[in-house]
């Protein structure tokens, strides 16, 4: 089943937060994404049910192997696209926002071609 863009954003956020701290909880996700706690709780429940995350009794959130694979893929797209946009003169703020939009829509084929082109 293909994960929706919002699910990808949550997984990417959990990955980013896990790089900053060994413990990620729903409140951290809520603060980072600037979403309400009930919205985050609902989304995390869906991700847990679909097998992308585990939530321990203490509220600590972990990515499952499939969740981590998706999160790393989206995060790589984000960083590569952001850096490319900055390198061609786009402001960092605009590059961040645009990369966030593009990362979910770009095909694997196109993204791989972009990566090949920028590493020449």
CATH of residue 35's domain is 1.10.10.10
What domain range includes position 103?
Answer: 72-118
Are the C-beta atoms of residues 71 and 15 closer than 8 Å to each other?
Answer: yes
Clarify whether residues 45 and 95 are in a common domain: no
Clarify whether residues 81 and 60 are in a common domain: no
Cα separation, 95 vs 90, in Å, equals 6
Closest listed residue to residue 47, CA positions, set 89, 15, 79, 81 = 15
Are the C-beta atoms of residues 11 and 73 closer than 8 Å to each other?
Answer: no
Which CATH number fits the domain that encloses residue 105? Answer: 1.10.60.10
What integer is the mean pLDDT of 75-80? 95
DSSP state of 2: P
How does pLDDT run across 17-63, given as a tens digit for each residue? 999 998 999 999 999 999 999 999 999 999 999 999 999 999 999 99
Number of domains in the chain: 2
Give the pLDDT confidence score for residue 3 in this predicted structure: 77
Closest listed residue to residue 12, CA positions, set 36, 34, 29 = 29
Give the pLDDT confidence score for residue 1 in this predicted structure: 53
Q: Of 32, 48, 69, which one is at a domain's C-terminal end?
A: 69
- Facing residues of 61 across strands? 55
């Amino acid at each position: 089943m293909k994960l929706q863009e919002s699910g990808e954003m949550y997984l990417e956020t959990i990955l980013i937060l896990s790089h900053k701290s060994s413990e990620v909880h729903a409140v951290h996700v809520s603060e980072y994404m600037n979403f309400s706690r009930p919205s985050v709780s609902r989304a995390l429940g869906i991700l847990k049910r679909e097998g992308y995350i585990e939530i321990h009794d203490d509220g600590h959130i972990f990515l499952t192997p499939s969740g981590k694979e998706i999160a790393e893929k989206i995060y790589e797209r984000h960083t590569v696209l952001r850096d490319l946009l900055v390198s061609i003169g786009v402001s960092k703020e605009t590059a961040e926002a645009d990369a966030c939009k593009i990362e979910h829509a770009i095909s694997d084929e196109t993204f791989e071609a972009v990566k090949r082109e920028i590493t020449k």
